Amino acid sequence: MSLVLQENLSLKPYNTFGVDVKARLFAEAHDDVQVREALALAADRSLPLLVIGGGSNLLLTRDVEALVLRMASRGIRLLADDGEKVVLEAEAGEPWHPLVLWTLEQGLGGLENLSLIPGTVGAAPMQNIGAYGVELKDVFAGLTALDRQTGELREFGLEDCQFAYRDSLFKREAGRWLILRVRFNLSRAAQLHLDYGPVRQRLRDEGIETPTPKDVSRAVCAIRSEKLPDPMELGNAGSFFKNPLVSGEQAERLKAAHPDLVAYPQGDGLVKLAAGWLIERAGWKGFRDGDAGVHRLQALVLVNYGAATGSQLHALAQRIRADIVAKFGVELEMEPNLI
Ligand code: EPU
C-alpha cells in the first residue's frame, strides 16, 4: 500500500476555520489508486471515510472518528483546443485560485470572476462555487467521479450534476460521489461578465475601458480582499449562510418595513435577500463572543479569532439564525458542511 497513514492527527491546518480537532486516521491521496486504497482501508477498519479538499467549507465540531482523506492529486491538461475554445481538465487536488491564475497566464478566459475563491478543484462542483455573476456551472464541461457504493467510475455532463445556487447532486447525495477530476470550457476570446456592479465600477475607477480577463481577475481579487478575511490571517469559511430565497409577498412586506432591504428578484416569483444585510441590520456585524465572531466588514462571514471550537462557532450561528427568524421571519441556511 502506498498510502501514508497518520493517527490522531490535528486537522487545524486542514480547515480554514482553524478549528483544532483530531482525525482518528488521516491520509492524502495523490492519484486514483490511493483513493481506492483509502476506500478499502476505511471499509476494512469499519471507519467512515471523510473526503476533504482545501477544508474551506467545513465546520468541524468534534474529533472525527473517520479516515479523513485529503485530495492531493495534481495535474492540469488541455483535452481539446480549436485555437479559440479549449477544454481543460484539472485533478481534484489542484488548488482553485492558482488554477485560475494559470489559465489566465495561458490567455484563457472563463474563470476570472471566480478568482481568489479558497478550496480545490474537486470541491468546486460540490457547492457550485460562484461569485460576481458567474457560477461554476457556466464554465463546466464535465467531471469524473468514483461511485463509492460500487467502486465504478462515472462521467457527468452538465445536466447530470443538477447544479443550483450553492448546490449540486454531489452535495445532495453526500458521501456517494468522490470527484476525481473536473473539466472546464474556456476560451481565448472569452465573453466577460461585468454585470456585477462593483466589478464594473472598480474597472471604471482604474480607467480600464476594454478589460481583459486578467483585468477582471485583478478587480475581483481587490474587491474580495477588501471585504473577505484571508483565512491565513483570520479563520473563516467564506460566506457562512446562503442568501435566502423568499416569496414575492414576503419580500414586499419586508421592503415596506425596511425600504433599504437588499433584494434580487429571481424571475420565478421568488426573491433572493442579502443575508449579510439581514445579519448586519439585526446588529451582529462585528459581534464577538470569546474567539467566535461575526466579521466586522462582512456580516455573512463568521470568524475564529484563534481558539474558538466548532461548537462555539455553531452555537453563534444558531443564535444568529434564531434572531433573523425573530426579526424578519426569514430562515437562514448554513453554507459549510457541518461535521
Ligand atoms: N451587505 C450588507 N452587510 C454586510 C454584507 C453585505 O448590507 O455585512 C449587503 C451589501 O451591501 C450588498 C449585499 O448585501 O448590497 C450583497 O453583498 P455582497 O455583494 O458582498 O455579496 P454577498 O451576498 O454578501 C455573495 C456570495 C459570495 C460572493 C459574493 C459576490 C453567497 C452566500 N455569498 O455574497 O460568495 O463572493 O456574493 O458574488 O451567495 C462564499 O460563498 O463563500 C462567498 C464569499
Ligand 1 atom nearest to 127, measured from its CA: 41
CATH number of 6-71: 3.30.43.10
Percent over 90 (pLDDT), the chain: 96
Radius of gyration of the chain (CA): 21
Per the annotation, the verdict on 335 as an active-site residue is yes
Nearest to 96 by CA among 74, 119, 122: 119
164-187 average pLDDT score: 96
The model carries a pTM of 0.95
Contact 90, 121 (CB under 8 A): yes
**Parallel, antiparallel or unpaired: strands 263-265 and 235-239:** unpaired
136 lines ligand 1 (CB under 6 A): no
Q: Which fold has domain 76-227?
A: 3.30.465
Ligand 1 centre and the CA of 276: distance in Å? Answer: 6
- The conformational region for residue 18 under phi > 0 = left, psi -120 to 50 = alpha, else beta, is left
- In this predicted structure, the answer to whether residue 1 has a pLDDT above a threshold of 80 is no
Measure 315 CA to ligand 1 centroid, in angstroms.
22
Q: Which residues of 73-101 are buried (b: 16+ CB within 10 A; e: fewer)?
A: beebeeeeeeeeebbbbbbbbbebbebbb
Q: Which candidate, 130, 120, 144, places its Cα nearest to that of 55?
A: 120
Q: What is the per-residue pLDDT across 36-86, written as a single tens digit (0 to 9) for each?
A: 999 999 999 999 999 999 999 999 999 999 999 999 999 999 999 999 999
Whether 190 shows a pLDDT value over 90: the answer reads: no
Residue whose Cα lies nearest atom 26 of ligand 1: it is 131
- In words, the CATH class of domain 235-338 is alpha beta
**Under a CB-based contact definition with an 8 Å cutoff, are residues 12 and 157 in contact?**
no
> 232-273, pLDDT tens digit by residue?
999 999 999 999 999 999 999 999 999 999 999 998 899 999
Residues belonging to the chain: 339
Query: In the chain, where are the structural domains located?
Result: 6-71, 76-227, 235-338
Ligand 1: residue of 239, 261, 266 to mutate (most ligand atoms within 8 A of CB) is 239
